[in-house]
Structure 1
Amino acid sequence: MNASAIESNVVRDAARGSWLSVLDDLAPEINKAIEKPGHRHIACPVHGGKDGFRLFRDANLSGGGCCNTCGPKPDGFSLLMWLRGWTFPEALSAVAEVLGVSKGFQASKRIVQKKTHIEQSKSSVNDDKIKSLLRTVWQESKSIRHPDADPVRLYLQSRGLDGWLQNWSSLRFHPKMQYRNEDNQVIGYFPAMLALVENGNQPITIHRTFLTDDGRKAPVDSPKKLMPVPADRLIVGSGIRLGNTGRVLSVTEGIETALAVIEATGMVTWPLISATLMSHFVIPQGVEKLIIWSDLDRSLAGSFAAQKLAERAQTQGIQVEIREPSGPLLADAKSIDWLDVLNQCGPNAFVFRSVD
């Protein structure tokens, strides 16, 4: 089918409410996640692991899902482009073919649900539970400077960072964070570094880094995990606010990378969690210059995300610099970030031309 002859909004409308069956047809490798959207975690279909991927709870409406490492895919088209390496027209054509949608919206074979056991995500009760859980976890947390927060300080020191952090309101310590596996079974409780993910001024969810008492990553399949996102909140565009923005804002992917930039330069730096979220970041009002400290990785995902964000910033009249480690990548290394640079070369490697 010729994708150019299909109106994308027609296919989007046709897919809404049928995405689970579309994905079941086009991405059978995620069928276990399709059975329980928002609840069942499975191995990432791209890079493996054990329980890093899940579909969003509203996946039948949106088609979206999230990998803890690769980041969120906000809708079914972006999910299929990621899984299959398709362009948008290719994904659009494939979805239209499954739906039986052609030019002029001739829905000749509108699909029906293949699996009667697929859960429909529609319960506001679940949303209330998620919001209550997020509030409870945050209320149970302590300042990053609390004497009990030694696991966080030891962890950061083990990564080559200064363990004595600024007392940001968005970064906290939880002494006994529950960890659940892909079957939603509690397998242990660990100290954790918490980071509040916000979109604008709205709290969205909490990022957790599970640790041991002596400051190592916890011995679990996914030591870094996002908590669930309520259906009425949007994680795309979000970031972790380490300081108040001024005329200049720096951004990174990871939290530890942001802390390395802050330690080396003193600049306000927000981690954006993943390359995907970086590319969709909503730049706060008042920022006149954006400095993107991108990762250098073999897949080029960090470079592409930085470039996409830079292009959007420039269309808004914002001055942009992309700062990427010079490399080269070692044969056994997947990436280099600015924390690696700090550890290998020291803070002088962060000196560029003035940001003024």
Structure 2
Amino acid sequence: MFYHGAMSHSQRFVPQDRRPGRGAASRESGRFERLHYEDTSDGWDIPEELPPLRTSVSDERPRSLINYVASPDIPFDRTINPYRGCEHGCIYCFARPTHAYLGLSPGLDFETRLVARPDAPEVLARELRSRRYRVATLAIGTNTDPYQPIERDRGIMRACLEVLRDFRHPVAIVTKGTLIERDIDILSDMAGQGLARVGISVTTLDAGLARRMEPRVPSPARRLATVRRLSEAGIEVRLMVSPVVPALTDHELEAILAEGAEAGASAASWIMLRLPHEVSPLWQEWLAEHYPDRAARVMARLREMHGGQDYSATWHTRMRGEGHYAQIIAQRFRKAARRLGLDRDLPPLRCDLFRPPPRAGDQLSLFDAT
């Protein structure tokens, strides 16, 4: 049945035995939905065991792929997403609210009802061939992780990388997925030409905390091993301490940086926990379930940094907050990064090598023929 208005906790909460390996605890409808749905008894007094939630994948045929952004506080202006939703299930993921645009829940739907875009490589190549296109670094992984588990079977990210390699197009990738090691052959070739770099996110070194907070992400130790493998292959890696969670992971900041430096990272960055839109209630549900003794302290720190709100989207401060606590974290990061040699700016990726590859039937120029 359906009704108007917000659901109560008991109506939208999914029992723990039905969501093994999931980050969110509920599947409330997105903020754009006029109607909200709830389960109700059919009147029969018969015990019913519902199965665990499974991951489902549907396909989308995009007309365009490159998404242009105009945020003044990020170092790129275009992104692509091979997938919508992310099976990694990180409870803090700031991309969860994007599932509301699909009429789906930013909670459990975000990590169980995924959308793959199998035509992405062809659409990307078409857009890069446009005479109106002007090259600049393309970011992948800024919304949902391109190396989440379904990439192993679908291979859409690898096919997109092949397009970028063939066009000699610069790319910056952010991931928690160790499946990126599969693509070292492409990435090392591109990195050798100044066309690729990778950011690996490590939120905590505590495997138990990571399993609860990022349920389907490889362990912290495994991600650090990926940093090492990429670095040894000549690919510059930025260690991303992201997000820093007040009263939960903030004490690990220096240790994470030290482990990243030892693994071969070239630089480092950090971002404070962000709770836009539906992420805040989902995060607070998670805290109440897993860390009830720290919930009030975590939220108090976050509100201190955002003028009393759970989150503020103000440019230039939204990713790190303001106030005394935010300043302390920033100072600790700067000191540790400087000591470990991770405080340097990586050189910009090259745009001057960009050239659409010839297609079958294209007439080569005299310069190409020589």
Between 1 and 2, higher relative CO (CA 8 Å, sep ≥ 6) is seen in 2
- TM-score, normalising length: structure 1: 0.30
Indicate the structure with greater strand content. Answer: 1
